[in-house]
Chain A
């Protein structure tokens, strides 16, 4: 018996999740609907189970929807993503699409046009079975391009690589145009070839697309190879920093933590945070705790401070003092307190390296 597809709905509003569960139960293919109230929970569920679609809210505390989507795009490139939000700002729409989401729906539109929404979701559930390159990720991008050329296809190949989206237009097996990272034609094609991983999707042909590329695939590939040998420089500092930020967010999610704040000992240096927006307040409290601990340690000659822990009904906090900064790791209330010191140390071990 064929297993049912699974849909994960992420929203911090419990009532909305209940409503969505009932609503999506009307889908003709009867997928299994699961819900998560936090980004961290959603990511751990995605790690544990194979889902077909993630339906994600944008405005959520701690880890917002865009952060979740950044991680999802890298860690689960085959997952279909749908944004379902109450935020009407076009800026969020374009940022979500830049992250490669498949659909962007406003909650109000979804309620008004529920049938269309269900049709879209059903279509996404079934699209993987209908062909295209989504399921051919084991293949090299180059293989896919060569297959399109050799088969004499007319199509548009859409490539998602993390937050980057590229398109290559084929007409009767010839490359006619490409677009990526603000470039087009040959330059865009070379940029796409540099992407290390991603997902492919074949879109309907656009015969009216203007031709900007005239070289054959072979000559483009040999040019790319020559340029690639000369240009081995890694991505820009901003790209690398962003990539590291996303990897660190993913590490937090995998560990099951909620957030990390790095509070420098010097007040004039800015604190950094991953997964929380309460950065300065947490950092300020952390510096205060450090000073109190220092005074207590000196008064009692109690030796160095190894860590500080605290908890309330919502979460556990663990402070790990370093020579020039203190890490604060937030853990969910249900975490096992006895293991948090070691888990926090492991999580932040190579944080700034």
Chain B
């Protein structure tokens, strides 16, 4: 039995990079989305918070942006300003790429 327990020890959790799109209001509240349910809501909240702050700071710097894209090695996060809110697209570069979500 001990041997079986050894084989069934928990594997490290592997998460896919989130993929899909979602909309947020001006307060960062997620409204609708197509991101898989296994992506923790807190991750989407954090993405929304950072993206909205990029738009907000751009307005403060006198150069309001209609769209912004953050291009990482593993994922592209694109966002379009929607009257203070945003529609955010999560586009993993390689859909099979994995990442451990630190929530």
Using a CB–CB cutoff of 8 Å, the interface residues on chain A facing chain B are 278, 281-282, 284-285, 288-289, 292-293, 295-313, 317, 341
Q: For B99, give the chain A residue with the smallest CB separation.
A: A301
B27 at the interface (CB under 8 A from A): no
Of B18, B60, B63, the contact of A300 (CB 8 Å cutoff): B18
Contact partner of B61 (CB less than 8 A), chosen from A281, A292, A297, A298, is A281
Which of A278, A292, A302 counts the most chain B CB atoms within 10 A? Answer: A302
Separation of A303 and B101 alpha carbons in the complex (Å) = 13
A281-B62, A288-B53 known; A300+B68 contact, CB < 8 A: no
Contact with A along B59-81 (1 / 0, CB 8 A): 01111111111111111010000
Q: A332–B102 Cα gap in the complex (Å)?
A: 39
Query: Separation in Å of the A32 CB from the closest CB of chain B?
Result: 36
Q: Is the CB of A288 within 8 A of B54?
A: yes
Contacting pair A285 B58 (CB below 8 A): yes
Inter-chain CA distance A305–B18, complex, in Å, is 17
Q: Which residues of B contact A304 (CB under 8 A)?
A: 72-73
Question: Are B43's CB and A300's CB within 8 A?
Answer: yes
Measured in the bound complex, the distance between the Cα atoms of B62 and A309 in whole Å is: 17
Q: Give residues 79-103 of B contacting A (CB, 8 Å).
A: 99-103
The answer to whether B54 touches A292, judged by C-beta atoms less than 8 angstroms apart, is yes
Are the CB atoms of A299 and B102 closer together than 8 Å? yes
Contacting pair A296 B77 (CB below 8 A): yes
Q: Which of B53, B61, B77 is most buried by chain A, counting CB atoms within 10 A of its CB?
A: B61
Residue from B66, B67, B99, B103 in contact with A302 in the complex, judged by beta carbons closer than 8 Å: B99
- CB proximity of A288 to chain B, nearest CB, Å: 4
What are the residues of chain A within 8 A of B47 when measuring CB–CB?
296, 299-300
Contact of A305 among B51, B66, B68, B71 (CB under 8 A): B71
Which 7 pairs across A and B sit closest by C-beta, in order of nearness?
A303-B73, A302-B72, A301-B99, A281-B61, A285-B61, A310-B68, A292-B50
State A299–B62 Cα separation when bound (angstroms).
Answer: 29
A306 & B72 in contact (Cβ 8 Å cutoff):
yes
**Are A302 and B60 in contact, with the CB atoms below 8 A?**
no
Query: What residues of A have a CB within 8 angstroms of the CB of B62 in the complex?
Result: 278, 281
